[in-house]
Amino acid sequence: MTFAELILLAVSLCFDTFAVCISSGICLPQIPRLNFAKIVFTFGFIQALFTLAGWIAGRSFLQLISSFDHWIAFLLLLYLGVKMIRESLSSKDSDVCIDLRNTRVLLGSAVATSIDAVAAGVTLAFVGISQAKIFGGVITIGIITILSATIGIKWGRRIGNKIGKRSEMAGGVILILLGLKILADHLDFLY
Task: Please report, for the chain, the start and end positions of each structural domain, with discontinuous segments joined by +.
Answer: 3-187
Q: State whether residue 188 is helix, strand or coil.
A: coil
85 burial via Cβ count (<10 Å: 0-12, 13-18, 19+): middle
Tell me yes or no: is domain 3-187 CATH 1.20.1250: yes
- pLDDT grade, residue 42 (50/70/90)? very high
Q: What letter does residue 99 receive in the DSSP assignment? A: -
User: Which whole number is the average pLDDT over 160-172?
Assistant: 65
33 burial via Cβ count (<10 Å: 0-12, 13-18, 19+): exposed
**In the chain, % of residues over pLDDT 90:** 31
Least Cα distance to 46 among 134, 96, 116, 102 occurs for 116
- pLDDT grade, residue 164 (50/70/90)? low
pLDDT(131) > 80: yes
- CA 131 from chain center: how many Å? 20
In the predicted model, what is the mean pLDDT of the chain?
A: 83
Among the ranges given (42-46, 54-58, 141-145, 171-175), the one the predictor scored with the smallest mean pLDDT: 171-175
- Which pLDDT score is estimated for 190? 46
Is the separation of the CB atoms in 43 and 145 below 8 Å? Answer: yes
- pLDDT grade, residue 34 (50/70/90)? very high
**In the chain, % of residues over pLDDT 70:** 86
- Which pLDDT score is estimated for 75? 84
